[in-house]
Amino acid sequence: MIQKKICLLGASSVGKTSLVKQFVEGIFSEKYLTTIGVKVDKKSLVVDDEEINFMLWDIEGSDRYNVFEERYLRGAAGYIIVVDQTRASSLIEGLDIHTLAKQVTSCPAVLAINKSDLPSTWHLSAIEQDAYQKLFDLQFTTSAKTGEHVDDMFLALAALLLKDKKNDITAE
């Protein structure tokens, strides 16, 4: 079975832990509990009859109390930058992390615009949206609360990784 390390990155309290919890256990809690360091979860998926095991690295959010460290990305097959659509500052933070991440890895990157159950406070023009979309391999609007597009996102990432594997003749 293929095993892939996926990192969830982003500003603090954007919902990284909640996305993992929703995806792995199918539950959501309103209570905010900040993550310290990193928490690893596992979940198996089946895409096109192929089983893939995701090791989900839920990494402590970046803010003035915790600076993003590239070392967490070592060996990652993909990463998800999570942003909170009720806080424009989390998008900027997310893009900054993405820039840093790209310097150490060329693996696929996903943008998850989370908290879609709440009204958005930023208004991106079509040009801006297009520009951000181009920076990532995949982009999803998610809600860890309602589960909207959460499974879709992880499945799409799995499919992308499998496709890349097939195209890569040097892969095991």
Please say whether the beta carbons of 82 and 15 come within 8 A. yes
User: Closer to another protein at the Cβ: 52 or 113?
Assistant: 113
Tokens 């979940």 belong to 43
User: Closer to another protein at the Cβ: 31 or 71?
Assistant: 31
Q: Which stretch binds another protein (CB under 8 A): 22-30, 58-66, 75-83, 133-141?
A: 58-66
Q: Which of 41, 50, 53, 87 binds another protein (CB under 8 A)?
A: 87
43 makes contact with another protein (CB under 8 A): no
Q: Which region holds residue 47: left if phi is over 0, alpha if psi is between -120 and 50, else beta?
A: beta
Spatial distance between the Cα atoms of 80 and 111, rounded to a whole number of angstroms: 6
User: Closer to another protein at the Cβ: 3 or 89?
Assistant: 89
Q: Which stretch binds another protein (CB under 8 A): 31-39, 44-52, 67-75, 149-157?
A: 31-39
**Helices (H) then strands (E): counts for the chain:** 4, 6
34 makes contact with another protein (CB under 8 A): yes
12 makes contact with another protein (CB under 8 A): yes
Q: Could you tell me the smallest distance in angstroms from the CB atom of residue 67 to another protein? A: 13
CA angle 9, 33, 149 (to 5 degrees): 50
* Strand 38-47, strand 50-59: pairing: antiparallel
List CB contacts of 133: < 8 A, sequence separation 6 or more.
111, 139
29 makes contact with another protein (CB under 8 A): no
Q: What is the largest CA-CA distance in the chain?
A: 46
Q: Which of residues 89-118 bind another protein (CB under 8 A)?
A: 89
Q: Is 110 helix (H, G, I), strand (E, B) or coil?
A: strand
Q: Which of 1, 33, 169, 171 binds another protein (CB under 8 A)?
A: 33
Q: Which of 10, 61, 78, 94 binds another protein (CB under 8 A)?
A: 61
* Residues engaged in binding another protein (CB under 8 A): 12-13, 32-34, 36, 61, 63-66, 86-89, 121
